[in-house]
Chain A
Amino acid sequence: MNGEQGMQTNGNEVIIETHNLKKLYQMGSETIHALAGVDMQIRRNEYIAIMGPSGSGKSTLMNLIGCLDTPTEGEYVLNGTPVQGLDDDELARIRNREIGFVFQTFNLLPRASALHNVELPLIYAGVSSKVRQEKAKNALARVDLADRTHHKPNELSGGQRQRVAIARALVNDPSIVLADEPTGNLDSKTSEEIMSVFDELHSEGQTIIMVTHEHDIVGHAERVVTLRDGLIESHDARADGLL
């Protein structure tokens, strides 16, 4: 837990701060420590890769940061707001305004067009239909899908689907984009494409946290956090080099 001093960020404010974050599952008599007490700070405009073996708690941490799940114990402050203790609706609001999620399995609405999928967060934000369409089209343009607005997910390639998902994550101008193994279902060439999309977003100032297994992808991130057994094993800045 001594990686902080090596950070290369330009003094931006902290937008995520966790303290002793725990997620426990009770399986019969056994208690599973999916997260066993995580302290971390993330500043605006950071690009962080989270690594670790399977079952180490990466997804659990992402879900907590993304307010999809609530911790068993510990504190989590997002953009100055203590998140623990908020009710379902308040969490939904934070997910809507502050978080953009990109999943390994894309998680698009199968019967809806790309445009409608991207509009979805705006619908729940109460944005008018006209503004919604405009923003959704812009977001699709940012991921190079301006010409696929009316395609359904099953009419798109895997890489295109993931780009629709990225557009959906961006459309509400979230504080952070969370990506849990976004290239896990893609071949290596398409993975590179998707990674360059994230690189570009980062260069435009987007804060990104990404879970990944693949070492060459780690090369895109500024900082690598490694989890093991629900705890942070290392907080390496890119400069330290993991590879």
Chain B
Amino acid sequence: MYVLEGIWIALQQVWAHKLKSAFTLIGVIIGITFLIAVITVVEGMNRYVQEDFAGSLFGINTFTVVRRSQISTGSETEERRRRQARNPNLTLHDVDVISAAVPEAWRLAYNSDRGFDEVSYKERRRRNVRLIGGSDGYEALQGWDVEIGRGLTPLDQRRGLKVVVIGSEIADRLFPDVDPVGKQIRIGAHRFNVVGVWESQGGMFGVIRDASILMPFSVYRQTFARNPSEVDEISVKMRSMEEMEAAQIAVEGAMRTDRELRPGQENDFWLQTSSELLDTWDKIVKILFAAIPGLVSISLVVGGIVIMNIMLLSVAGRIQEIGIRKAVGARRRDILIQFLSESATLSVVGAGIGIVFGIGIGKGVEAFTPMPASVPVWGIAVALTLGILVGVGSGLYPAYRAAKQDPIVALRSE
């Protein structure tokens, strides 16, 4: 009951002195705001990367052979980056080598792509698109589905037809109120027939699919490739993780043999997997989460010291109250609990404000940047627990001072 008494007194005081309380609690508020904001954004990213991004960008059980690593992990040396820059281009010959190495591949496809300035339909334009020339089966390997119309067929590929499937953002921009299927769009000097529109992917990395235009590889090569013999990516999809790992080894061996690399010599190509990406992300998350405790605990310690001072002042100003309570039967522990509840309540109020601010910042980030936010329950639990701990910790000494007051002395004080 003195717990309730303490909580009640604390809430009344916070309410009666809002500005003073805000200053009192500022350390806790800042610490918890920061904690929740970071957790919210990181957790949002984390979910996104694990659930959507890795799967949709690379596909499951899929690996890709590229000329050089496209993901900068920060851990690779400048030296290695320079060496990779000398790697030879991938060609259709490499496609043959790889498909011979993994005849059991579930899917195998290759593609080249480039950014392109502008596409148009009549007067309407869309800038900054990505043109992809994909081999037969590229869409299936990527797991892309069409929303309207159809995807590319083997026939489109074989005949080298000037047909495209466009991303949803492009469709929305060029065809705000007509069905895009069957319409002709201009890409540079060329005209292409739209046969379908991809399902929108949305989200932070949706730009990759939603702003892309896919055409048969042969058409891309003749029309847009800077270097016609070049293939940017060769992707292999297997049925399971184990199969994928075995296939990676087989592909690596076949490529090395074909390129006559000596043992000990480094690969002059790069194998990229979704797990490589996840590893990189994990590293970033680890660094972020490693930095949180330091920053948060500094502000919480400062916040705790401020609360302790306020509580000491509060105890000093309420000696007579303590005397009265003791005179009517409060034991030491009753007084102790009352003041501990009071400081814990103060601190939890601060933590609560911090949680609200933190979520606000997370949601703000979500609204104004492409980064998603997600508030995990454990984050709120951690924040509240920290609030209680800081409150109890900083209240201990003041509450002890209050509890050990002699009732006679306390009653006499004015």
The answer to whether A and B belong to the same complex is yes
A-to-B contact residues, CB < 8 Å: 63, 66, 68-69, 88-89, 92-93, 95-97, 101, 103, 107-109, 111, 120-121, 123-126, 129, 168, 172
Residues of B within 8 A of A129 (CB): 1
Residue of A nearest to B327 (CB): A101
The reply to whether A108 and B324 contact each other, CB–CB distance below 8 Å, is yes
A-B contact pairs, 20 of them (CB 8 A): A63-B408, A88-B331, A88-B332, A89-B331, A92-B329, A93-B331, A95-B327, A96-B328, A107-B324, A107-B411, A108-B324, A120-B328, A121-B328, A123-B5, A124-B2, A124-B325, A124-B331, A124-B334, A126-B1, A129-B1
Please report whether the interface of chain A is mostly helix, strand, loop or mixed according to DSSP: helix
User: B331, A69: Cβ atoms under 8 Å?
Assistant: no
Chain B: interface secondary structure?
helix
User: Can you add 8 more A-B contacts, CB < 8 Å, to A68-B327, A69-B408, A92-B332?
Assistant: A68-B326, A88-B331, A92-B330, A96-B329, A109-B321, A120-B325, A124-B2, A125-B329
Q: How far, in angstroms, from A153 to B294 measured CA to CA in the complex?
A: 48
Given contacts A123-B1, A123-B2, contact A95 B411 (CB under 8 A): no
**B326: A residues at CB distance < 8 A:** 68, 92, 95
Name the B residues within 8 Å of A96 (CB-CB).
328-329
Contact with A along B319-352 (1 / 0, CB 8 A): 0110111111111111000000000000000000
- Chain A residues, CB < 8 A from B320: 107
Near A by CB (< 8 A), chain B positions 282-331 give 320-321, 323-331
Closest to A121 in B: B328
Using CB atoms and an 8 Å cutoff, list the residues of chain B in contact with chain A. 1-2, 5, 12, 320-321, 323-334, 407-408, 411
Min C-beta distance of A26 to chain B, whole Å: 16
Q: How far is the CA of A67 from the CA of B324 in the complex (A)?
A: 14
Q: Are B321 and A68 in contact (CB under 8 A)?
A: no
**Is A89 in contact with B332, judged by CB distance below 8 angstroms?**
yes
Give the complex CA separation of A88 and B407 in angstroms: 10
Closest CB in chain B relative to A161 CB, distance in Å? 13
> Which of the residues B12, B323, B328, B407 comes within 8 Å of A124, measured between beta carbons?
B328
> Would you give the shortest CB distance from A150 to chain B, in whole angstroms?
15
Check A109–B329 contact: CB distance below 8 A.
no
Cβ-defined partner of A107 (8 Å) among B327, B329, B332, B334: B327
Expressed in whole angstroms, the minimum distance between the Cβ of B406 and any Cβ of chain A is 8
Residues of A close to B329: CB separation below 8 A: 92-93, 95-97, 121, 124-125, 172
